[in-house]
Amino acid sequence: MNIKSIENWIILLILSLTWGSSFILMKKSLESFTSFEVAFLRLIIAFLVLCPLLIYSFQKLKKTHIIPLLVISIIGTVIPAIIFAYSIAKNLDSSVAGMLNSLTPIFTFIIGVTVFNKRTWKKENIIGIIIGLLGTYILLYPFNSSLEIQLSLVIIVATICYAISINTIKDCLDTLNPVDIAVLSSFFSVIIPIIYMIYDFSNTYYINGTNIIDKISANISDFYYLIILGSICTSAAILLFNYLIKRSSALFASSTTYLIPIFAIIWGLIDQEEIMKNEIVGIVIILIGVFIMNYKRVY
């Protein structure tokens, strides 16, 4: 293993710790804020962190970049942010959300082959995908309520969104550097949240005399979780993630999900979430599938 590979694994570990912590941060901030407020405030905070670089990054923007950036922003950022916040708000354990996120590399490969036509099928890919889906079934099977199953399936949709975004960054934005991708995608990502917050600000104030600013002031301790979520787990992590994609591969970058579930489970245990045996077995099988699928290809 050369120095570049070691550096890639260090970046992967930092990203996994950062994103593995995001699920519990969402859970904590949802104690005072709605799912849309958590999702959108997170993106607004992330943009505020990156906006000093906006003028510089706009100078690099070309017409051919706009559609890929919109894909990354809407499909890869806004939709997953809403999905994860909504699912956790509906009492899906943050640890389960983190475990299901491990499906991202599987969908990254499938979409890379079927949509982007950049890769070819090999037998280990097929075997890995089958094992990963089997692990997902084991992880989800004992759920007693249809709501839990529905929420889990929605989380899987979010991982597909991530997979589309990862492939788009790798194959459609090779002329932009990681910082410009992060800044410009953050700009496009924040348009919908700002529109929503302006509407919510005026409408809520008109109805009951309060608004999001008052709400933040009254729940400042929980807002700190959102600050961490937006500044570190979103803006800083996106910069690092795009950098990793550029210097390695889409598959290797998506393999942050090897370690994200571990940190999500640790935080879940600290927060006294109950981790079921089938969930541990399921996530282990999923990760085995991901490893087999990526074997000899991750660098």
In a domain, 283, yes or no: yes
Q: For residues 60 and 187, give the distance between their C-alpha atoms in angstroms, rounded to a whole number.
A: 14
| Six token digits for residue 81 | 């942010």
What pLDDT was estimated at residue 251? 64
In a domain, 196, yes or no: yes
C-alpha 25: how far from chain center = 13
Q: If you ran DSSP here, which 8-state letter would residue 256 be given?
A: G
Residue 272 domain boundaries:
3-294
Q: For residues 132 and 130, give the distance between their C-alpha atoms in angstroms, rounded to a whole number.
A: 5
In a domain, 299, yes or no: no
Question: 36-47 burial, b for 16+ CB within 10 Å, e for fewer?
Answer: bbbbbbbbbbbb
Alpha carbon separation from 56 to 169, 171, 194, 223 (Å, rounded) = 19, 23, 22, 30
Cα distance between the two ends of the chain? 10
**Residue numbers in the chain where pLDDT is lower than 70:** 1, 118-119, 142-145, 200-210, 250-251, 254-255, 257, 294-299
How confident is the prediction for the chain on average, in pLDDT? 84
Q: For residues 260 and 214, give the distance between their C-alpha atoms in angstroms, rounded to a whole number.
A: 34
Number of domains in the chain: 1
What pLDDT was estimated at residue 52? 92
What pLDDT was estimated at residue 30? 93
In a domain, 128, yes or no: yes
In a domain, 239, yes or no: yes
pTM for this prediction: 0.84
In a domain, 224, yes or no: yes
Place of tokens 């929605």: 154
Alpha carbon separation from 96 to 25, 82, 223, 275 (Å, rounded) = 14, 16, 23, 8
What pLDDT was estimated at residue 109? 84
Q: How many CB atoms lie within 10 A of CB 30?
A: 22
Name every residue whose Cβ is closer than 8 Å to that of residue 179 and which is 6 or more positions away in sequence.
Answer: 53, 57, 239, 242
Q: Angle, to 10 degrees, between the axis of helix 277-294 and the axis of helix 260-270?
A: 160
Name every residue whose Cβ is closer than 8 Å to that of residue 281 and which is 6 or more positions away in sequence.
Answer: 135, 138, 139
How do residues 120-137 score in pLDDT, each as one tens digit?
777 777 888 888 888 887
Name every residue whose Cβ is closer than 8 Å to that of residue 291 and which is 6 or more positions away in sequence.
Answer: 128, 258
